[in-house]
Amino acid sequence: MVLYGKGAAPGAAVGSVYIYNKKFNIPKENFVDSGKEQSELDRYNTIKKQALEEIEKIRLNMSETDPAKAEIFDAHKEIVEDIIINEEIPARILNERWSGDWAIYQVYGDVLNLLKKTPDPLIAERAADFDDIRALLLQLWYGQKPPDLSGLKEPVIIAAKELFPSDTAGLKKDKVLAIITEKGGVTSHSAIIAKSFGIPAILGIDGLLGAVKQGQLAAVNALEGTVILDPKEDVTNEIIAKNSILLRDMKDADNYLYREARTLCGEKIDIGLNVSNANDEELKAQNYTDSVGLFRTEFLYMEKDTLPTEEDQFLQYKKVLECYGKKPVVLRTLDIGGDKQAASLEQRQKREENPFLGNRGIRFCFSNPEIFKTQIRAALRASCFGNLWIMTPMIGSMDDIRKIAKIAEEAKKELDNSGVKTGDVKIGIMIEIPAIALIADIAVKEVDFASIGSNDLCQYMCASDRTNIAVDDYYSPLHPAIIRLIDGIAKTFNNEGKPLSVCGELGGDIQAIPLLIGLGIRKFSMGAASVAAVKRTISKVTVVECEELAKKALTLGTAAEIAELISKVKEH
């Protein structure tokens, strides 16, 4: 039997399944006697304190081995102390005489339902954190010891409905061959921890717990997202061989991590980092990247229910700029809408029939000028602490570019008049709407730099929603039209001597890198996990070879033909 899911951390493994069930008693609707409301609330406050102590124990244990992951549990403490939840639960107990366990279950349930409805996977997966805290509070309420995976005796494949951060905190990686779950996505905490431990993981396997048995032999291939139950000997041998090859390849690529990215003929290629959370773990990549190629500032709007203040943003931007020093930090202004929703902006984001074609990116900022101006002011204030480049998303016209320049100028004048110092800042754009790509020769005159957002450019060029599996075959980053468009954009910016980078899926694709170099791209931005392999690829090709590859690709008529061509690139 074969099960399918999403590969969230690379690798393969064969071993016995360990089914991990984290159960808690689901309370029934219950009420306390009149006059006992306060004692019930007092008990809730005691349980809340115990939960904070339990989380702090986990955080301290984690901080000794991995300080970055310990930050997850700081977020858990914030959930326990969430202002809205801790207004709602006491209100239910005191005003409606709900029992404490029923109030915990229902109030957290309301938050979970809200989070799960959002189309943004980053926000939806925050539901796991709230579910984790609810389970902890109810276990403590009933006097149950919270389970964990720290006591595993033999290496196993963990199968679970969903793994929460507290489940994986005590994990000993030598006792875990792989992780497979029914829920969870590639950006969940479980996926992040699995990647950092080097544990193969497949998440989102429909019907997993109904299919597997305790102790059953399974073969996990996270590269293909498959779990084979009761595999035959030839299958197990194949999986083991694949994992050995992958591990050797990853180890070889790691040798290139701290090297400069140069082609075999000596051409320097800039490697930028995609920053999503600006935490210390992410910023360690400063040691082996040339810039922050894409600083996604949305996280500031997504992590809380209230809008980040100018000061909140200034401190985060300053932190990243100081970390990277003289290296460029490309700060992308708020890119919300489409598949991204934020709790702090919920009242301003109206339901749209076609959100990817709607009020997103710079359009949302223009319709909420006070939010945009606040972000620009915070960025300009931080610019004194490093080399800041401000980039705006979803640009579709010269009107957009000129409006942005005017707003930035107004913000700078306001700061100047207040005696606030600002540094030199470059202003650039994301090229992801075909309309601006086709007038790149005009746009280049009025911007300092640009970055090709390959994911959305592909989506709009191919008229294929990149989140819709039904049209996945039509979403093709190697479509000849996209390759030709990138070729034209690169020629335009190179002729003007202005920086141009590629981010998104293509920016970290080791097979596409030689083709893009051949088209004239010299700057790429990617996640930290892709850096070593990309540097290795760059080191084994010459510019002349890449240019010959690009010439051939520009004559081809299908994405499949281009994919076949680039797969045959010979490394020296």
From residue 424, give the alpha-carbon distance in Å to each of 80, 273, 427, 448.
42, 21, 10, 12
Amino acid 537 reads T
Please indicate whether residue 503 is annotated as part of the active site.
yes
- Catalytic residue chosen out of the listed positions 365, 458, 462, 503: 503
Our measurement of the distance from residue 406's CA atom to the centroid of its chain's CA atoms, rounded to an integer in Å, reads 32
- Specify whether 189 is catalytic: yes
Residue in 517, 502, 525 with CA at minimum distance from that of residue 453: 502
Q: Is 156 helix (H, G, I), strand (E, B) or coil?
A: strand
Distance of alpha carbon 464 from alpha carbon 572, whole angstroms: 37
φ and ψ at 11, to 5 degrees? 135, 180
Q: How far apart are CA 482 and CA 492, in angstroms?
A: 15
Find tokens 């920016």 and name the residue: 507
CA angle 446, 450, 451 (to 5 degrees): 160
CA distances from 479 to 310, 458, 506, 525 (A): 41, 8, 12, 21
Query: Can you name the residues that pair with 436 across neighbouring β-strands?
Result: none
> Is residue 421 helix, strand or coil?
coil
Q: Which structure tokens are listed for 210?
A: 């109904």
338 phi-psi bin (left φ>0, alpha ψ -120 to 50, beta other)? left
**CA 270 – CA 262 distance, rounded (Å):** 9
DSSP string for residues in 24-87? -PPPPP-BPPTT-HHHHHHHHHHHHHHHHHHHHHHHHHHHHH-HHHHHHHHHHHHHHT-TTHHH
- Indicate which residue of 76, 189, 479, 546 is catalytic: 189
Q: What is the dihedral of CA 236, 242, 247, 250, to 10 degrees?
A: -160
Angstrom distance (rounded) from CA 51 to CA 38: 20
b or e along 302-322 (b: 16 or more beta carbons within 10 Å of the residue's beta carbon)?
Answer: bbeeebbeeeebbebbbbbbe
Catalytic residue annotation: 189, 503
